[in-house]
Structures are given as C-alpha cells and as structure tokens.
Amino acid sequence: MKADALPSEKVSAAASSVEAPSKVYRTVAASSVDAGDSSVVKENRKVPRMKISTLGMSIKNPQREEPAPAAPADIRKVDSEPEEDFIFNERDLNYYWQEYAGSLPMEQVAIAKRMQVLRPVLLRNSTTFEVVVDNEIAAKDFTALIPELQTYLRGRLKNSKVVMKVRVSASTENVLPVGRVEKFQMMARKNQSLMQLKEEFGLELY
C-alpha cells in the first residue's frame, strides 16, 4: 500500500494541472493571431491586374503620345495673298491719269501737257486701257513711262490688273494734236499756205 503524497507534492501537481490548460490556450490564441496576420498580409499583397493597352501610353516610346507643339503660322503665305481688286470705270481712270500728269516735275512738262490733252480709253470688259498717239516719237515717250505710270494707277485705282498700252493711230483715225509742232502739222495738211509762210519768215516751232 502506497503512502499518501506529501502536501507539497499535492500542491505542485495541482499547479501543473492548472498551468497546462493556460499554455494550451495561449498556444491556440497565438496560432489564431498568426493565421489572421498572414491572411491580412496576403490580402495586402493582392494587386489588381490591368492590361497595358488601358494605360494610355507606350512603354517603348512614351514621348510619342505627347501632343505636338502647334506649328507657327506661315506669315509669308498670308503676305503673298493678293488683296481684292476694286472695279473702276473710264471716268476713274481719267481722273487719276490727270492727277499723275499734274504731279510731274518741271523737267517733264512736255509729257505732262501731252497727258492733259489725251484721254485713255478702257478696252471692252477688261482692266487694260489704251493711249493713242499720232506719231512714233510720242509713242516712244509714253512707252517709256508705262512702268511708273502703270504702278501709280494700280495703287490709286486699287486694282493690280491695270495694264497700259500705247498705239500709234492709223491714217484714217482722227487724233487730237498734243504739241505745237503737231498742231501746226495738222493745220498745214489742211492749208498748204501755212507751210509757205513758215518757210518765208524762217519760223521755228518748238
């Protein structure tokens, strides 16, 4: 027959029996906490999957997607565009024709007087006008004046298509004389005695 255990041994055994369940509880609780932490970590590590095509850019060359800078306006093209040409009539043409004649310097007084008695005529349905003179000398003088006079009239009439032509009149055309010599020649053709008087008195016409 076994002897009864000592009181101290009974206390030790009781303490062991109480301590064991608490260890089991701590172990289970720690396991559950560890399991919960791992689930949180796993959830945090989840990254949503996206297609590259939805990102709106190119990985190889992302600069291609940037908007290109606006090209500067072509000033030369704008400047080269012609202005609208205004319509004019023969009255307008003759007005600025006389205006130009009045602006000529004293050195060109002869051509200015010729211009004052001439009347430029617009050709039908065009911006070209014609000046008719009675001899080749006058035609040469007016032809030399075309570049300057034509530019002047284009500016005053506001029409870039104005063109000037000079023509020597035919023998059947009635052209008004513009100078003293031309006037005398016309009168002498009608009255031959005028030429005789000129030669008799030795007159010179300028």
User: What is the distance between the alpha carbons of residues 53 and 185, in angstroms, rounded to a whole number?
Assistant: 97
pLDDT, position 36: 46
Q: Where are the domains of the chain?
A: 90-175, 177-206
Spell out the long-range contacts of 97-106 with Cβ–Cβ below 8 A and sequence spacing 24 or more. 97/153, 99/156, 100/149, 100/152, 100/153
pLDDT digits (tens, 9 = 90+) for 115-127: 988 899 999 888 9
pLDDT, position 16: 46
Beta strands (DSSP E) in the chain are: 121-122, 128-133, 163-168
Residue 159's contacts (CB-CB under 8 Å, 6 or more residues apart) are 85, 86, 87, 88, 127
On the 0-12 / 13-18 / 19+ scale of CB atoms within 10 A, 175 is middle
pLDDT digits (tens, 9 = 90+) for 176-187: 555 566 666 667
**188, pLDDT greater than 80:** no
User: What is the distance between the alpha carbons of residues 55 and 31, in angstroms, rounded to a whole number?
Assistant: 42
pLDDT, position 150: 96
pLDDT digits (tens, 9 = 90+) for 11-60: 444 444 444 444 444 443 444 444 444 444 444 555 556 555 555 544 45
CATH number of 90-175: 3.30.300.180
- The pLDDT confidence band at residue 147, using thresholds 50, 70 and 90, is very high
Tokens of 20: 């064991």
pLDDT, position 170: 80
pLDDT, position 168: 93
Tell me, what DSSP letter sits at residue 66?
S
On the 0-12 / 13-18 / 19+ scale of CB atoms within 10 A, 35 is exposed
pLDDT, position 196: 72
- The pLDDT confidence band at residue 200, using thresholds 50, 70 and 90, is confident
For residues 162-169, average pLDDT: 94
